[in-house]
Structure 1
Amino acid sequence: MGLYRCEKCGIDTELSICPQCGNKTQLLVWVYWSKTKNIPIMSFPNDNNSDLVSLARDIRPVFPQERLLLECILGEPLKYLTSSCWRLPSGSYIIDGQKVNIMNSDHEKILIKDLNKLNADEIREKYQLYESKNTNIYFEKYIEIFVNENKKRYQYIDSEVSEFLEPYINRDISNMFISISGGKDSTVVSDVVTRALGTPKITHIFGDTTLEFPETYEYIKRFKKIIDLHQLLQQKIEKRIFLKWLRL
C-alpha cells in the first residue's frame, strides 16, 4: 500500500508527487492515539488496531511552557504536569487522549481571537509563581516514546527528502541558500539539505525583523556554532518599516 493517493489518477503511490500526472498527492497516513503508549501514532486508516483511536491528519507537541500557560488560563497550574499533552490544528488540546478546550468561568469555549479579553497580568503573575516547578522530565519522557514508536515513519520521510534532493548533489552550491528563521521547520530543512548534499557550506539567510524573541537570537548564535556554517547572512529589517507593514 502506498503512502499517498492521487485523486485525479486514482492510484496509490510512495511519492508525494503523482508519477503519472505530476500533481500533488494526498497523504494517506493518519494520526491516531495509542491508548497503551499514551502518545500519537502515525498509521494507516482502517488499521483495525483496537489500541488506536482516530484523531486527525496533524498534531503538535505541547512544550512545558505552553502547557503551564494553558493551565494558568484554566486556573489549574501544573494540573497536567505529568500528562502527555498535544495540540490539534483546530486549537484543541489532546491530554492523555482526551480533548481539552480552553474554557471560561461560564464553561464557554474561548477562541484564540478572544484570548486578548483575558486578564494578562493575572495570568502572567500565576505563570511566574509556578514557573520554577515546571519540569521537562515528563515532556521528554513522552517525546522519547513518540520518536521510538514513529521511527519508521520518520525514516521514510527522511529517505523521501534525500531522493528529492539527489538531482542537486553535484550542482554548484554557491547559488544555493537556505532561509533560517530560528524555528523547528527551517532547522529541519537545514539538516536534511546539508546531509543530502554532504556539506554544511551552504549560505543561510536569517531574516531579522527586529521583533524576534530574545531566545531566537540566542538560538541563531548557537545554531551557527553547532553546525559550523560556511556563511550566515543576517538581513535586518528596519523596525519602523516592519511595524508599518503590520498596520496595513
Structure 2
Amino acid sequence: MDFTETSLILKVGSFREIDLWVRLATPTHGVLTAFAFGGSKSRRRFMGCLDPLNCVEFQFHRSGRGDYLYLMEGRLVRGCPGLRADPARLGPAVNCVKFYEAVFEGPDGSEESFALLAETLELMEDRTDLSALLPLLFRAKVVFLQGYGPGFGACPRCGKDLRTAAAPTLLVEQGVVACAEHAHGSGRRVVLDAWTVELLETVRMRSVRRWADAAAPAASRRRVFDAVDALVRYHLGLAWEDGRFRRV
C-alpha cells in the first residue's frame, strides 16, 4: 500500500553505488527504514531532502512482496543546516533523536511525541540560547506523553502544595510525588525541591517552547537528572550509557 507522510530523517546510509537507506520517524507509522533507490544521484525526486534532521513529505511504496518500503519522491518541508553545522547544538539534537528512536522501535508511532521531536529540532535550529537541560527534559516529556509519571502540583495523599512542602519525594514505582510526611512505601525514591517540582510540572503540562530555555540552579540540576533518569529507567526501560540508550 502506498502512503504519503511527513517524516523526520534520523539517519542516512549508502548500501549500493547510488542507493541509500533512510531511517525515519513518522507520526503514524513509528520509526521505520525505507530505501531511496538512486537517492545519492537523483536531483528531481529528492532535491535537497536526504540530510539527517530534515523534515520531509515522502511518498512511500511497499515492495511487491511487502517485505520493504522505498521512497518514491520527497518534498522538503524544513531543513536544519545551521544545526548540522554547529557541534554545540548538534550534540543535544542527536541525543533527543537517539532517545526517540530507542522509545519508538517498530511500527507503533505517537503523533504527540512526533510533534514534540519536530518542534524541538525546529527550536534548536532557530535558537542558540536554549537550556543545556533540554535533552533531559525532552526525555521527561516523552515519558509524560506515554502516560507515565506523576503530577507535581499537590501531594495526592494530603493535598499539600508540593512547591512549599518540605522534601517532596518522587516514589518511582508508585508513580507519585508526595510530601515528606506521606512519602511511604518501598522502592526507589528521589528527593526533590521546589524548583524541580515546578519545572517538571511545567514540562508535563506545557509545550516545549515554555521550558526550552529553563536555567537550573546548580543545587537542583542533580535532582532533575535523578528524577528523569529514574522515570525513564523504570517506565521505559532505557538508560544512557556509552553514548547510546540501551535496554535495562
TM-score (norm 1): 0.24
More helix by share: 1
More strand by share: 2
TM-score (norm 2): 0.24
The structure whose RCO (Cα within 8 Å, separation 6+) is larger is 2
Higher Cα Rg, which structure? 1
